[in-house]
Amino acid sequence: MAEKKIHEDQKYIEGLLQNNSFIIKAIYDKFVPKVLNYIKQNSGDADSAQDVVQETLVTIYNQAKEKNLQLTCPFDAYFFLLCKRKWLNELKKINAKEVTINEAVLSKHDSALELADETELFENKQLLFNQMFQNLGTACKDLLKATFKIKSMEEVAKSLGVTYAYARKKKSLCIGKLTKLVQASPKYNQLYY
Amino acid sequence: MNDQDYITFEGYISKTLSEEDIADFEMRIERDQDFKQAFKTYKELHSFLEYKFENEENSKSFKDNLDTISKSYFKTESTSKKVLRFAPWNYAVAASVIVLLGFFLFNNFSDPSYSNFSNHDQISLIERGVQAKDVEAAETAFNTKDYSKANLAFKGLLELDSTNTEYQFYRAISNIELDNFEEAEVLLGNLKDGDSGYKYKAIWYLALSKLKQKDYPACVGLLKTIPKEAEDYKSALKLLKKLD
């Protein structure tokens, strides 16, 4: 992908990363009213808006932290688009009917669309990965947790009472098992192709 | 994929494969689509797990903080709605009170004042870099209206980064607030003649500085130079009307 100019609103992303209350409050004051309005006008209420906003901010935080998210458009456009899509997806679930998402009318920023797509994909993958992780056996779950928390494989082996070589091998096999679970999921093809 | 494949994936990611194995691995990635796809997923899961467990605590404190802010935002959101919910005849009463009050105020204190027009929002400067702490201190001082502290903080920041127009601008406002008009106007004059995003804002605040000094002719002269595309154009028109 070509290098794109980072938007000055990156400061909001940095603020989320630093868990800076001042910035988070500013996000609520500046950008949430629009989302709240939109959701209220589209068969929702303040409670649903609260959830949508919170989930969206957590996703942005995760993507920023894990994937070094860089904003190439105004935060407003990106954030609104994500909240709107999330809400429309909720509606789809509730009503079980087709809701058309008319993006062309609502966003003037191509880069916002592109970035929102990326974030949505990231979120869906995280959701799938988390679900599949829960499906792993306890032994694998514990080993992976220890591996990534403790970092030193020697210590992990010691804490689990196994040899170093076994711990290493087991780590690959557990992630391998997880890979298989993810690849076998019906959602996999939507996410990777 | 078989067990050995996953062991190879892990070896490749943790850079423990021999050169020969790396060459084999990369060749297979080129040729075998399934192998490539499985590796891509494996790598993503690796990064996902790494992030999930390494950041467990950070991410929890972020979520807790977010929850608190969200609750307080939506709480005030709903209480402010409740305040507005009164019977229709009350609107008439309220409206007539406002009209009377407006009439009274307009007749008694018709000179517009600096404080009526200088509604600077809360600022958020946060930047990456070494002086993040100083930036935060300046921001907090400004937002809590401790302008002498803000002025000093911005002065310090400008010593490190003298061309930063954002700092210059907020230092100027702090100085207007402190009645150091000369200092403020020098800063604003530079911004006005520059090309930054604060070009027009600087004219608006120069006018407000004159307003605060009750130098009305100078204020009017400056207001008239604010172009239509400026953010403060409407406020400028409003103020001009009052000064006429």
Does residue B83 lie in a domain region? no
Residue A152 CB neighbour total at 10 angstroms: 11
The residue among A172, A174, A178, A181 with the most chain B CBs within 10 A of its CB, best to mutate, is A172
For residues B123 and B50, state if they share a domain.
Answer: no
User: Residue A23 pLDDT more than 90?
Assistant: yes
Domain tally, chain B: 2
Distance (Å) from the alpha carbon of A113 to chain B's nearest alpha carbon: 23
Q: pLDDT tens for residues A62-113?
A: 999 999 999 999 999 999 999 999 999 888 877 765 555 555 445 455 788 8
Report the CATH number that the domain containing residue B200 is assigned in CATH: 1.25.40.10
Q: What percent of chain A has pLDDT over 70?
A: 90
Asked if A75 and A9 touch (Cβ cutoff 8 Å), the reply is: yes
The count of other CB atoms within 10 Å of the CB of residue A100 is 6
* pTM, entire model: 0.59
In three-state secondary structure terms, A113 is: helix
Q: What is the distance between the alpha carbons of residues A2 and A181, in angstroms, rounded to a whole number?
A: 34
Q: In the predicted model, what is the mean pLDDT of chain A? A: 87
pLDDT at A145 over 80: yes
Q: What distances in angstroms separate CA A65 from CA A59, A110, B9, B87, B105, one per listed residue? A: 10, 24, 24, 49, 53
In chain A, what residues touch B41 (CB-CB under 8 Å)?
A: 179, 182-183, 192
Inside any domain, residue B124 = yes
Quick one: B48 and B120 in the same domain? Answer: no
**Cβ-Cβ contacts under 8 Å for A62 (sequence gap 6 or more):** A122, A123, A126, B51, B59
Residues 6+ apart with CB under 8 A from A13: A60, A64, A69, A70, A71, A75
Residues B130 and B215 in one domain: yes
Q: Are residue B135 and residue B38 in the same domain, yes or no?
A: no
pLDDT per residue as tens, chain B (244 positions): 899 999 999 999 989 899 999 999 999 999 999 999 999 999 999 999 999 998 889 999 999 999 999 999 988 766 655 444 555 666 677 777 777 776 666 555 557 788 888 877 778 776 655 567 788 888 889 888 899 999 999 998 888 888 888 889 999 999 999 999 999 999 999 999 888 888 888 999 999 999 999 888 899 999 989 988 888 888 888 888 888 7
Domain end residue (candidates: B12, B33, B54): B54
Q: How far is A100 from chain B (nearest CA, A)?
A: 28
- Is A30's Cβ below 8 Å from some Cβ in B? no
> Is residue B110 less than 8 Å (CB to CB) from chain A?
no
Q: What is the reported pLDDT for A104?
A: 47
Per-residue confidence (pLDDT) for residue B234, from 0 to 100: 87
**Spatial contact of B131 and B160, defined as CB atoms under 8 Å apart:** yes
pLDDT on residue A71:
93
Residue B37 CB contacts under 8 Å (≥ 6 apart), including other chains? A183, A192
Smallest Cβ–Cβ distance between A24 and the set B38, B44, B66 belongs to: B66
**CB atoms inside a 10 Å sphere around CB A153:** 16
Other Cβ atoms within 10 Å of A6 Cβ, number: 11
Residues of A in Cβ contact (< 8 Å) with B44:
125, 129
Predicted confidence at residue A150, as pLDDT, reads 81
Q: Say if A34 is an interface residue toward chain B (CB within 8 Å).
A: no
Question: Which pair of structure tokens corresponds to residue B156?
Answer: 């310090």
pLDDT at A181: 95
Chain B residues closer than 8 Å to A192 by CB: 37, 40-41
Q: What is the pLDDT of residue B227?
A: 87
Residue carrying structure tokens 């868990």: A19
Of B193, B181, B59, nearest to A58 (Cα)? B59
Summarize the confidence of residues A30-56 as an average pLDDT. Answer: 93
B124 plus B238 within the same structural domain:
yes
Quote the domain boundaries for residue B223. 115-243
Residues 6+ apart with CB under 8 A from B223: B204, B207, B236, B239, B240, B243
Q: Do B10 and A171 touch (CB under 8 A)?
A: yes
**Is residue B237 assigned to a domain?**
yes
